[in-house]
Amino acid sequence: MGPHIFHIIDDYSPANYGVNQVVRQLTDYLARQGYATTILTAGKAQTPVPAGVDLKEFPLTAGGRRWRYPLGFKEYLDQLGRIPDKIFHIHGVWLAPQWLAARAAARQGVAALLTPHGMLEPWHWRDGQLRRIKKLIYWYSLAYPAFRRLSLIQAITPLERHNLAGQFPGQIIEVIPNALDLTEADAFLAGQGEDRLSENVTPYLLFLGRLHPKKGLEVLIPAFAEALKGRPVRLLIAGPAHTPQYARRLETLVRHLGLETQVSFLGAVAAPEKWRLYRQAWAFCAPSHSEVVGLVNLEAAVLKTPVITTYETGLSDWEEGGGLLVHPRVAEVAQALKQVFSWSAAQRQERGRRLRQLVENRYCWEVVGPQWLGLYTKLLESRA
């Protein structure tokens, strides 16, 4: 029997999609290996909990909703002292649950690790001068004094480890990549029959994710306009808006470029529609300014759809699998799109096949899961 692992997340809901998906899949894997696993979340959980995983929800205090301060959370953590071989796995850095858990781990001498999930990457420190000042004050006055006492920091890519080394001097930083459960995507593929695109669908480029400034949509839309040049290709943008104002900005950009008939905003999508969109796309493009792997890149690849993404994801091996890497600049993305639009169907299929193989070899739970088990064991042994 392994340790009891408590996963601390500030928001276990679709609004926190990337972190939420990682936590859901990791806890599912741990439960299937027989590990006692509990998710602790601030506010009401709106995502199903995997079988065998316990869930504890803490209501938000009336005055602490912006910081997501969970009522009774500190007291609950202090009561866990009687449980042997426990680990606090803290997800994220900016809100009250992470801060409270790090302080509780220090008080109790509990083995604990932090996964920042890309929240400390350079782009986030440049996101507006006022926001930068607020983050610096919070980081040095509250967050870092709590996190510097943790046993271990987990980075998702070597690039993130490099960036985190300056923020956690002297602390151990281990790299374990994000992983994808292939089951749902494979079930979709199994029901599709012959491995080819529908002849009745106009070729389209797909973006799927939150409509957020860091996702690079203000790069993608003009790059698409430059690469289009009369080609019968559409751009489908699927995902919820970060804010209504930002969504309107993107729609204005589309109108300004005269792309109203070529670009469609689909809003949020879920399976099985999500899988259909991936599979029928000529290619997937996520020109993110900041990302650590990006589950959407893995999801598209598993559906054998070629993927253009950025060096900023840390996917240094992506081109080995037939994917394309660019910097999030209009000229570079446009050049990649021109290349993608010039492929034959056979070239596209081969690129997708190679990316699928790359995910199977390096980014699926059968490969990544044992790395987590080894890390948790190492963490406990270091505290013995």
Residues 288-323 pLDDT 10s: 999 999 999 999 999 999 999 999 999 999 999 999
The number of CA neighbours under 13 Å toward the Cβ of 163 is 23
**Helix, strand, coil proportions of the chain in percent (round to 5)?**
45, 20, 35
Same domain, 283 and 371: no
**In the predicted structure, residue 194 carries a pLDDT above the cut 60:** no
Kindly state whether residues 155 and 59 are assigned to the same domain. Answer: yes
Task: Give the pLDDT band (50/70/90) at residue 10.
Answer: very high
Is the N-terminal amide bond of 232 cis, ω within 30° of 0? no
- Picking from 358, 368, 263, the residue whose alpha carbon sits closest to that of residue 318 is 358
Under a CB-based contact definition with an 8 Å cutoff, are residues 279 and 189 in contact?
Answer: yes
- Do 223 and 355 have their domain in common? yes
Residues 152 and 240 in one domain: no
Tell me the average pLDDT across 340-366. Answer: 97
Question: pLDDT grade, residue 382 (50/70/90)?
Answer: confident
Region 23-51: what's the mean pLDDT?
A: 95
Give the domain CATH number at 268. Answer: 3.40.50.2000
Q: What percent of the chain has pLDDT over 90?
A: 86
pLDDT at 196: 60
Spatial distance between the Cα atoms of 125 and 123, rounded to a whole number of angstroms: 5
Enumerate long-range contacts of 75-82, CB under 8 Å, 24 or more apart: 76/40, 77/101, 77/104, 77/108, 78/104, 78/107, 78/108, 80/6, 80/108, 80/110, 81/108
Same domain, 103 and 188: no
Query: How many other CB atoms sit within 10 Å of the CB of residue 150?
Result: 21
Residues 346 and 371 in one domain: no
Q: Provide the domain count of the chain.
A: 2
SS3 320: helix
pLDDT band for position 46 (cuts 50, 70, 90):
confident
The pLDDT tens digits for 214-248 are: 999 999 999 999 999 888 999 999 999 988 999 99
Per-residue pLDDT at 1: 62
Strands 54-58 and 152-155: unpaired
Residues 6+ away with beta carbon under 8 Å from 178: 22, 156, 292, 293, 294, 295, 298, 363, 368
Same domain, 171 and 248: no
Per-residue confidence (pLDDT) for residue 129, from 0 to 100: 87
345 and 379, same domain (yes or no): no
User: In 3D, which of 69, 74, 75, 67 has the Cα closest to residue 94?
Assistant: 67
**What's the whole-number mean pLDDT along residues 155-178?**
96
Transcribe 114-141 into DSSP letters: EE-TTTTSHHHHTS-HHHHHHHHHHIII
272 and 196 belong to one structural domain: yes
Helical residues (DSSP H) of the chain, grouped into ranges: 17-32, 73-79, 96-108, 122-125, 129-138, 144-147, 158-165, 183-190, 217-228, 244-256, 273-280, 295-302, 330-341, 345-362, 365-383
Give the mean pLDDT of the chain. Answer: 94
- Asked if residue 272 has pLDDT above 70, the reply is yes
The domain of 124 spans 4-179+364-383
pLDDT of residue 199: 62
The whole-number pLDDT of residue 136 equals 95
252 and 291: one domain?
A: yes
Question: Which single residue is written with the structure tokens 């869930």?
Answer: 55
Do residues 236 and 207 make contact, with C-beta atoms less than 8 angstroms apart? yes
CA distance 228 to 287: 17
pLDDT at 229: 86
Q: Is the pLDDT of residue 143 over 60?
A: yes
147 with 158, same domain: the answer is yes
pLDDT of 266 reads 97
Q: Write down the pLDDT at residue 383.
A: 72
The torsion angle over the Cα atoms of residues 123, 298, 31 and 114, rounded to 10 degrees, is: -20
- 241-269 pLDDT, tens per residue? 988 999 999 999 999 999 999 999 999 99
Same-domain pairing of 18 and 60? yes
**Do the beta carbons of residue 198 and residue 279 sit within 8 Å?**
no
Residue 126's pLDDT is: 86
